[in-house]
Amino acid sequence: MPKLGLGVYQVVGDEAVGTISTALELGYRSIDTAAFYGNEAEVGRAVRESGLPRDEVFVTTKLWNADHGYDAALRAFDASAKRLGLDTIDLFLIHWPLPAAGLYVDTFRALQALKRQGRVVSIGVSNFTRAHLERVIGETGEVPAINQVELHPYYAQSELRAFHAAHGIVTEAWSPLGRGAEFNDSVIIALADKLGRTPAQIILRWHMQLGNVAIPKSTTPSRMAENLAVFDFELSGREMTQIAGIDKGARQGGDPNLVD
């Protein structure tokens, strides 16, 4: 899976097709969508029309909260695959665990069936806490390939990352740029000035060196290119520690135990 992909939440209609086409031209090879984003058809269209071989573009989509449960999840996957118009999906995620509903293990079993049928290559989860992951692993015997969670310098999730690493789960960062929250941070600005990079590049390079997959969102071609250009410089151990020092445990999005 590419270490950097394009997130396309809130990018819809013609803008979605145009943005994804531009991203693919710029060199992006991974697109993160979801049933909830209402743009799966546009993602599929842009991927098909790119002319790139299908196995060169990694497509992730996610199962929405209304579709938890074994049969509902199978139906939801069919609908997503139809909208995407792709024969196989590279990665299918449970968008939120909804612990109060208590159906995420059954839902994951449906994802296992889809994987066995070859309709999806890899299966994973999103917004799962350690407790949710432990239950899935304990009850199904399968380790989700990936957990996509909110993660940026002000919310660095070091304990969850360590749990992922111990179990071979890939950490994927959503809102990897903290939706801009850290762009004015003095540590990030100082590093950007010192290394001749932008704040976004410093943050994305930090993700790469932590071993995260990151899916920054932008619809501006120059920013999309900027976000991809983080493989020709390195942060020193000391610089990584400086960034670790600005973690505030400050989440922006929903609490996985409460979102329903």
- 217 binding ligand NAD? (CB under 6 A): yes
Burial of 175-198, coded b for 16+ CB within 10 Å and e otherwise, reads bbbbeebbbebebbeebbeebebb
Stretch of residues binding ligand NAD (CB under 6 A), selected from 15-23, 135-143, 168-176, 189-197: 168-176
Site for ligand NAD in 58-77 (CB under 6 A): none
Q: How far apart are the first and last CA of the chain?
A: 29
User: What is the distance between the alpha carbons of residues 195 and 109, in angstroms, rounded to a whole number?
Assistant: 47
Q: How far is the CB of 194 from ligand NAD (least distance, A)?
A: 18
Interacting residue with ligand NAD among 30, 39, 122, 127 (CB under 6 A): 127
By CB under 6 A, residue 32 contacts ligand NAD:
yes
Binding status of residue 251 toward ligand NAD by CB under 6 A:
no
Query: Is 126 a residue that touches ligand NAD (CB under 6 A)?
Result: yes
Structure tokens at 141: 């015997």
Is 91 or 110 the residue whose CB approaches ligand NAD more closely?
A: 91
| Residue 179 makes contact with ligand NAD by CB under 6 A | yes
Q: Which of 56, 231, 253, 260 binds ligand NAD (CB under 6 A)?
A: 253
- Mark out the alpha helices in the chain (DSSP H runs): 13-26, 40-49, 70-84, 104-116, 130-140, 158-167, 186-195, 199-210, 221-228, 237-244
User: Residue 249's CB: how many other CB atoms inside 10 A?
Assistant: 9
Is 120 strand, coil or helix? strand
Q: Which is nearer to ligand NAD, 96 or 239 (CB)?
A: 96
How are beta strands 146-150 and 170-174 bridged, if at all?
A: parallel
Q: Extract the tokens encoding 232.
A: 């020709």
Which SS3 state, helix, strand or coil, does residue 147 take?
A: strand
Give the binding range for ligand NAD (CB under 6 A) out of 18-26, 79-87, 136-144, 169-177: 169-177
3-state secondary structure of 44: helix
Nearer to ligand NAD (CB atom), residue 84 or residue 177: 177
Least distance (Å) between residue 79 CB and ligand NAD: 19
User: Looking at 51-59, 128-136, 173-181, 241-249, which segment touches ligand NAD (CB under 6 A)?
Assistant: 173-181
Q: Which residues bind ligand NAD (CB under 6 A)?
A: 7-9, 32, 95, 126-127, 148, 174-180, 198, 200, 215-218, 223, 226-227, 253
